Structure 1
Amino acid sequence: MRVDALQNATENHAVSSLDPYRARATLLPDTVPNQFASDAADNQSQSVAPMWWETPVSQTIGLAENTMAVDIHSLIEMALVSSPYIQAILTEPQIQRTEITIADAEFDSLSFVESKFVDTNDPVGSRLTTGDNSDRFRDETLSGAAGLRRKTRSGGQFEMSQQAGYQANNSTFLTPNPQGTTRLEFSFTQPLMKDRGTTFNQTRILLARLEVGEINAEVRANLENHLVDVARAYWDLFQARADWLQRSRLLESANHLYQVLLSRKGVDSHQRQILRAGVAVAGRRSDLIRAEARIRNAQSRLRMLTGSEQLRFAHHQELTPQDQPFTIPVELSLRESVFTALEHRADINQSIRKIQSTTARVGAARNQVLPRLDLILSSYIAGLDGNRSSLRAFENQFSDGRPTYAAGFLFELPAGNRASRARLNRSRLEMTRAMYEFQQTTEVAFAEVEIAARETQTAFAEMMVKQQSIVAQKREVDYLQQRWELLPDPNESAVLLIDDLLDAQERLADEERAYVNAQVAYVMSWVNLRRAMGMLLRFDYFSTQDVTGQPNAAAVQSPVDRDSPDQLYGSDSFDEDTLMGSWFGLYDESEDGS
């Protein structure tokens, strides 16, 4: 089919349009320069000790009588299957594909049948009407036609029709009277300049196909955004529960201190110490209330994003996250990450589709600038018989006489042809705009991949430093706790010692919360990196046998076939297994990173 060849030609041209950017990508460093990330990576052989809240965060904390375990895999699956938003955007490509059928149906054959009966009774104003002295002209005419019309893919208009009817009146000029008539007629009009050729006449089909590609890219981007929101909501839940546990322990520490001081009132504790500890208990209890609200808000957001009935009616259940943030560093190649982004990003794909569409419109507009020159051919055979017998007339049309034929040309050119030239100029300007948009989109891809890769390494380095901060701050808390319990200094204010201990506990809780934030930031940096690379919803480099893997270093570093249009556009099939396969490669329950 010519439209397939035309589309393949435009896709090959689109692939070559990325060559300058591929050449530019080869000049990028293989790794992201980051001194702090490099220092943290030097210590990656040291295992990260599990934190005290990691086990309790996956268990009930008493917010509801019933619990429901959730993980990234199940939530993504719920969203893909049940989310009304996802189901709505997945219908967009199906809606657009109907435009392809509509455009192709323009070349379908059209059958028609028409008939008409006319009973005329007019006054006679001239003897030439009837040929006698009749004062009224009475005429009965029945006519009918059946035939076929079709537009060819080269632009021609073909019509074949069989006409039949009879006529009877009181005129002496009608012979025979009554009479049956038939006519078999053929006509064909072929444009020779304007509107000529399969390329022009199938432009609408090509544009519809390209529009499907644009819609697919847009749908993929919307899917990625929604599933990133689901992942973010899951880690918000994890973050809120960890914060609740940390705040709960902080409250227990303050409450324990308050109870000890209260029990030793009148012995060696002062009223101001008790008041200070009481203020700390009240403040930490209010923080715990806010932390509980954050948990419930995160659960509500997960119910909204997934749209699952299983979660929709789980208002009285406590959702317990089972997936823990991974803490394994994974080496990545900035150069190959950019290469992958050039091949697979949805926005680049969409920009290329727009260039292809505007290129096709320019070609169509150039055709419309030409003058109209049409070849017109027609022929018919006719039959006649008396006694209103159309059947005998039909037989006679093939046996009596010979066919009548006609041939001619139609030439048409508007003075100045301004409208067609303006449309051509507009199409060329639209193509220029599409090229600039493509350049900007590619620049954005370069920047986003570089930033995302840097953020990934920075987030890991920050997480390692936060862990060290927790260890150092824990030592200070233990030291102050021991001084207060065992070795009070008589020369030091007891109130100041209590203040120092409470402040140190607050700083420890802040460092623990900052560590969880760094963990979540590291997890989400991988999600953002894969989205920047255009690989978040792709299944190309993931093994179906390892759908629960850590961030796959091989997937990040694997080069792609940069000469294949299939690699550029990929699959436009958004089936559930393919979508979930990409996400299942982001997380792993194991700790070895294999």
Structure 2
Amino acid sequence: MSGKYMAAAAALAFVAGCTGEGSIGLSPGDVPGIRAMNPSVGEELDANRDGVFMNASQARTRLDSFPGNGEFDLSSEDLSNGQWPVDTITYKAFRNTSDRAIYIRRALGRYALIEARERGLGTSLNGVRRVAHISAPSTAGEWWVRSAHRGDLLPRQRAQKISLPDIINATVRNSFQIAAFGDLPAIRGTAIQEARGRFVPEIFADASIERRDEFATSPASAGGATRLTTDEDDVEFGVRSRLQTGGEISLSQRFTTTDTNDTAFIPGEQTVSQTALTYVQPLLRGGGFTYTDSTRRIANMDTQIAVEEFHRQASAHLLEVERAYWNLYVARSVYAQRRHLAGHGAQIAEQIGNREGIDADPVLINRARSLASQWRADMVRAKAAMENAEFRLAALVNDKRLGPADVEVLPTSAPNGALHLLSTNDTIEAVFIHRPEIQQAILQYEAALLREGMAANESLPELDLVLEARSEGGTGGRSLGDAFDDQSGNVGTLVGLKFSVPLGFDERDARYHRRRIETVQQERQVMSAISTVLLEVDVSANEYIVACNDLVAQRRALEAAQADTNAIQARWDEGIGDAGIELLSALLTSYQNLQASEQAVATARATREISAANLARARGLLLDRWGLSMNLTRDIRGEQTYQLARSGRDG
């Protein structure tokens, strides 16, 4: 008896050991620590340092040659060290589709990098290096800067001073949008435990009570009665689990108690006990650790893709916050400039009006008053634009300090290039590593390869091995214990095979064919994503270069416009004379040109800052620019989520 109980306990322990973790949620090991393009870039750079260079054609051949030459074998040492040297892999038979997916993903990444180099993509970063050392011109002479930073434009409102680093920190803490973005990886991460949950053991139980009352075919069969009656109580319970080999194991105990007047049963009331250990293992379709683990690996990659999506969305949102911050600076500057211009217009109109009937004709007076009214209207629109800029910034940040309508938001950071690019030595390889869209595309490609491998397995014939060991016993009466004890030494076995194969092209073959096409499509999407990203890098780099040069040019234009206005103002102050209309027109036009130049300088300064931030986003470094990282944490409900947090250094 003790041996039987020990065997049952051992079987239960085996089943319990075949399960995954018991808690739902992500753990630090669930999501890959390195980004998907890192190995490909690392292999290429290591090869280059060793003097080995491949062209795009050779890299493509390495990517495409494995189907015809067979697939490759990887040693356990390579796997444990995480080394996948593309140049030294021996092409043999693949052990599993996971190895295949990893290899092809890395080979495609290396090919894409080499191909992008040959096409000359991302070369505009060289131009950034040439202008990045140029500091922004001083704000000396830009009188409106003080008004933009100081709370004197709307004196009846309460001023709230805030710098750009402060607004970024406030966004990280308070933005509902970023918080919503952070929930996506946690939502996707539940699929990891969902995949593990397929292997959690389950306890099962079935019970039935059957009563039969049948006509007796002969008096002898029912002990002389005319009716054959049978009462049968049946209960079965046990534990079962799917295994990561693809099989299923179960340990069950069954008791059946029968009370009948059927003379075939002696005694008429008896109990039968059966203990069975059953194992079914697929040998082709659905078999193997790699096939069963592919679901978890795909869930893991989907979670990493969601993390990269959080990176992308958070970067885009922070870029919009920076844009809104500098747009508020421009709006405040423009309002100060147009208020200043309106003041000049009112002063000139008053001067001309006071000389009515002396040497100022009605045309001159109407012209001055008309432009003064127009400039006042422009000031009203500029004030509305300033308030709208405040509202947009407040909506993006969701900070209560910016919310009340009586708060005047004062941007205290100066657009002087102090928050420059992190580094001017970055290359196209850094873009491959840091840009989240590239990481997403290459991970989706690896997931497509895994799905193709799963579909290939599912299209195989069904061939299952069935093993069963069981012991049976029985006793008269209803004693379950006696029936169970009677099983000792009564062991039977069963060994069998189950086989089936479709006689034509079935739905599994169609699914496999579709997966193969999807893999090719995803490869093309990888190349498309890389081209699009590198185009953005080139465009953003050019915009940054233009913004740097434009600020210098606009400052020169402002100096020229100021000199022109000063000269005409001096002539005006000497007296109207016979050329009053022409001189007034020239003066008013010069003031308009001066205000336009002032606005262009303020806009150019903000544009330079925005273009620097946009270039950091295009290179995938905007979060690094502010020293932010994505951390797995818990929200107020205790549920997992991702949040942005300081990574330990300033941006």
Within the alignment, does 1:577 sit opposite 2:648 as a pair?
Answer: no
Where 1:202 maps in the other structure, the secondary structure is: helix
CA distance in 1, matches of 2:410, 2:424: 36
CA distance in 2, matches of 1:92, 1:518: 37
Amino acid of the structure 1 residue aligned with 2:246:
G
What displacement does 1:349 show?
A: 0.4
TM-score by length of 1: 0.85
CA distance in 2, matches of 1:352, 1:319: 43
**Cα contact 2:139–2:145 (8 A) shared by 1:** no
What displacement does 1:73 show?
A: 2.1
Within the alignment, does 1:378 sit opposite 2:446 as a pair?
Answer: no
Within the alignment, does 1:395 sit opposite 2:481 as a pair?
Answer: no
Query: What is aligned with 2:289?
Result: 198
What displacement does 1:330 show?
A: 6.3
Query: What is aligned with 1:272?
Result: 363
What displacement does 1:404 show?
A: 1.1
CA distance 1:207–1:306, shift in 2 (3 Å): same
What displacement does 1:462 show?
A: 0.4
Within the alignment, does 1:466 sit opposite 2:554 as a pair?
Answer: yes
Query: What is aligned with 1:208?
Result: 299
Query: What is aligned with 1:360?
Result: 450
CA distance in 2, matches of 1:386, 1:16: 71
Within the alignment, does 1:117 sit opposite 2:209 as a pair?
Answer: yes
Amino acid of the structure 1 residue aligned with 2:502:
P
CA distance in 2, matches of 1:178, 1:70: 89
Q: How does 1:97-496 map to 2 (within 5 A)?
A: 97-120=189-212, 122-127=213-218, 130-312=221-403, 314-327=404-417, 336-398=426-488, 401-486=489-574, 490=577, 492-496=578-582
* 1:512 maps to which of 593, 598, 611: 598
CA distance in 1, matches of 2:378, 2:257: 97
Query: What is aligned with 2:84?
Result: none
Within the alignment, does 1:96 sit opposite 2:188 as a pair?
Answer: yes
Query: What is aligned with 1:525?
Result: 611
CA distance 1:450–1:129, shift in 2 (3 Å): farther
For residues 228-253 of structure 1, give each alpha carbon's deviation from its aligned partner in whole angstroms, at most 9, with x where no partner exists. 12111111211111000000110111
Where 2:281 maps in the other structure, the secondary structure is: strand
CA distance in 2, matches of 1:478, 1:413: 94
**Cα contact 1:69–1:321 (8 A) shared by 2:** yes
Amino acid of the structure 1 residue aligned with 2:159:
T
Where 2:223 maps in the other structure, the secondary structure is: coil
* 1:65 maps to which of 141, 152, 157: 157
CA distance in 2, matches of 1:301, 1:45: 27
Mean Cα deviation higher: 260-269 or 350-359: 260-269
CA distance 1:75–1:127, shift in 2 (3 Å): farther
What displacement does 1:474 show?
A: 0.5
Query: What is aligned with 1:560?
Result: none
**Cα contact 1:470–1:508 (8 A) shared by 2:** yes
CA distance in 2, matches of 1:486, 1:356: 79
What displacement does 1:10 show?
A: 4.6
CA distance in 1, matches of 2:476, 2:450: 58
Amino acid of the structure 1 residue aligned with 2:405:
H
**Cα contact 1:176–1:385 (8 A) shared by 2:** no
Amino acid of the structure 1 residue aligned with 2:596:
D
CA distance 1:273–1:267, shift in 2 (3 Å): same
CA distance 1:340–1:179, shift in 2 (3 Å): same
CA distance in 2, matches of 1:44, 1:71: 20
Query: What is aligned with 1:551?
Result: none
CA distance in 1, matches of 2:125, 2:206: 75
Where 2:360 maps in the other structure, the secondary structure is: coil
What displacement does 1:355 show?
A: 0.5
**Cα contact 1:41–1:461 (8 A) shared by 2:** no
CA distance 1:214–1:328, shift in 2 (3 Å): closer
For residues 74-98 of structure 1, give each alpha carbon's deviation from its aligned partner in whole angstroms, at most 9, with x where no partner exists. 2222222222222112111111111
What displacement does 1:455 show?
A: 1.0
CA distance in 2, matches of 1:207, 1:33: 38
- The gaps in structure 1 that reach 5 residues or longer are 548-569, 586-594
Mean Cα deviation higher: 24-33 or 249-258: 24-33
Amino acid of the structure 2 residue aligned with 1:79:
T
CA distance 1:502–1:128, shift in 2 (3 Å): farther
CA RMSD between the two structures:
2.9
Query: What is aligned with 1:84?
Result: 176
What displacement does 1:125 show?
A: 4.3
Where 2:154 maps in the other structure, the secondary structure is: coil
Amino acid of the structure 2 residue aligned with 1:536:
L
What displacement does 1:292 show?
A: 0.7
Where 1:149 maps in the other structure, the secondary structure is: strand
**Cα contact 1:237–1:321 (8 A) shared by 2:** yes
**Cα contact 1:31–1:334 (8 A) shared by 2:** no
Amino acid of the structure 2 residue aligned with 1:239:
V
CA distance in 1, matches of 2:205, 2:309: 45
For residues 449-498 of structure 1, give each alpha carbon's deviation from its aligned partner in whole angstroms, at most 9, with x where no partner exists. 1111111111010011000000000011000000011265x4x5201100
CA distance in 1, matches of 2:263, 2:523: 75
Where 2:198 maps in the other structure, the secondary structure is: helix
CA distance in 2, matches of 1:440, 1:115: 59
CA distance in 1, matches of 2:181, 2:419: 35
Query: What is aligned with 1:567?
Result: none
For residues 533-556 of structure 1, give each alpha carbon's deviation from its aligned partner in whole angstroms, at most 9, with x where no partner exists. 0111237xx7x7xx9xxxxxxxxx
**Cα contact 2:459–2:508 (8 A) shared by 1:** yes
Query: What is aligned with 1:566?
Result: none
**Cα contact 1:334–1:453 (8 A) shared by 2:** no
CA distance in 2, matches of 1:93, 1:428: 27
What displacement does 1:257 show?
A: 1.1
Where 1:493 maps in the other structure, the secondary structure is: helix
CA distance in 2, matches of 1:429, 1:262: 80
**Cα contact 1:216–1:572 (8 A) shared by 2:** no
For residues 208-227 of structure 1, give each alpha carbon's deviation from its aligned partner in whole angstroms, at most 9, with x where no partner exists. 01111111122221112211
CA distance 1:176–1:329, shift in 2 (3 Å): closer
**Cα contact 1:158–1:188 (8 A) shared by 2:** yes
CA distance in 2, matches of 1:308, 1:382: 72
Mean Cα deviation higher: 56-65 or 140-149: 56-65
Where 1:139 maps in the other structure, the secondary structure is: strand
Query: What is aligned with 1:536?
Result: 622
CA distance in 1, matches of 2:282, 2:419: 66
Amino acid of the structure 1 residue aligned with 2:397:
T
**Cα contact 2:160–2:401 (8 A) shared by 1:** no
